[in-house]
Amino acid sequence: MWEEQFYRLSLEASRQQGLITSAQAKKMGVDEQALAHLGQAALVTELDWGVHQLVGSPLGPMHAFPYAAWLAIAPDLFRWERPARPERDAVLSHRSAGQLHGLTGVGRSIVFTAPAGRVAPRATTIHVSSLREDEVMSVRGVPVTTPHRTILDILADFAEHAEVQRALTSAVQQDLVGLRAIHADLAAVAERYGFPATGPEFVHYFLPDVEPRSLSPRNLRDYAALVLPDEVAQVRHKVAPALDDAKSDDELGLEIAAEIVGRIRWNA
């Protein structure tokens, strides 16, 4: 009997990264007594929130716990019964997303963002806010805000500037964000949170220890464009005749000029 129940659990759990909730198991006719027996046999481990991880699950603790918390938000529903578009469901966010991306340390609770209020499992916080489709991604099956959106959320959560600095530095060094794009969004709220908005001051404030030559090509271009805007403008003017008139003032001209300045200045 136990073998048959474990087999049924395994089939469904395999579609959820090897995890199953007590409520889902009950819908399949596997009660708490059966789960306890499987636990004693070291076939099932209860993580938290009434969510169990089956032996053979591909997830380590870093990914298993946030995924378990995500399942626990709607424990009666299987993954495929949840909204197909993750931004319409709960999405791991703020410091919890930062930890998953390797940008921050461990927070006091697991944090999600959802478009509407709902009951949060123990040690879980749910922010009510809308997310765009391009602000959500999946990491080992866990729906999570992108590094760009994550940094904005960490700042909005009244984090110390030093924490934002560490997160932004890590994201730029790992090429998880585009420096000019994140600067544009952070500069828009610079006055509210009390940090410099202009390019050179912003970079020196948030990225004081970044070595430009270590950056990806796109972020070296962005770094040059923000830190050396006058030099980039001069080079852009010089390369403009080599471009079509229709392109002489667009993003292409800026990127070419920033590439030249970045490579010359930092021997990249």
Tens-place pLDDT, residues 156-175: 998 899 999 999 999 999 99
Distance CA 154, CA 165 (A): 11
Structure confidence by residue, pLDDT tens digits, 70-99: 999 999 999 999 999 999 999 999 999 999
Provide the token pair at 215.
């950056």
Beta strands in 39-109 (DSSP E): 44-48, 51-54, 91-92
pLDDT at position 22, please? 96
Name, in order, each residue with C-beta under 8 angstroms of 160's C-beta and a sequence gap of 6 or more: none
Q: How confident is the model at residue 208 (pLDDT cuts 50, 70, 90)?
A: very high
**Range of lowest pLDDT (5-9, 125-129, 176-180):** 5-9
Domain spans, the chain: 1-60, 83-210, 211-268
Q: Please check the confidence at residue 109 and state whether its pLDDT lies above 90.
A: no
Q: How confident is the model at residue 236 (pLDDT cuts 50, 70, 90)?
A: confident
Compute the average pLDDT of residues 7-11.
92
pLDDT at position 107, please? 75
The mean pLDDT value of the chain amounts to 92
Q: How confident is the model at residue 134 (pLDDT cuts 50, 70, 90)?
A: very high
pLDDT at position 38, please? 92
Compute the average pLDDT of residues 255-263.
91
pLDDT at position 244, please? 65
Residue 230, burial from CB neighbour count under 10 angstroms (0-12, 13-18, 19+): exposed
Please tell me the pTM assigned to this model. Answer: 0.92
